[in-house]
Amino acid sequence: MRRVAALLGATAVAAGAFGAHGLQSHVTPERLETWRTAANYQLLHAVALLALSLSPTPRPLPSRLFLAGTLIFSGSLYALVLLDLPILGAITPIGGVCFILGWLSLGRGR
């Protein structure tokens, strides 16, 4: 999971830079803020995954939920911005639920 966390972290930084420098003149300010939200949540959960991967106690459930949340939440927001398909926003809450369940399962020690 450490490699996955590192990949998510690296791509989050790249996505943030792309949003700041490559998308700025191509999308609305609202869409740019959506992109930033996706990159921020991806980076935050990459750090959480890294911490979990370094823990002496395996935590597969929160790790899987954080990964799923990142792919669904951030992925749907990136696609929404790039493809300009607002319907993709309907998928985003599923990723948010994965994040919430990941944090709750972490709190339960699972």
Is the pTM higher than 0.75? The answer reads yes
- DSSP 8-state secondary structure symbol assigned to residue 27: S
Q: Check pLDDT > 70 for residue 19.
A: yes
Confidence of residue 110 (pLDDT cuts 50, 70, 90): low
d(CA 71, CA 40): 13
- The rounded mean pLDDT for the chain is 96
User: Which pLDDT tens digit goes with each residue over 66-101?
Assistant: 999 999 999 999 999 999 999 999 999 999 999 999
Q: What's the rounded mean pLDDT across residues 37-41?
A: 98
d(CA 74, CA 90): 13
Confidence of residue 109 (pLDDT cuts 50, 70, 90): confident
Q: Check pLDDT > 90 for residue 34.
A: yes
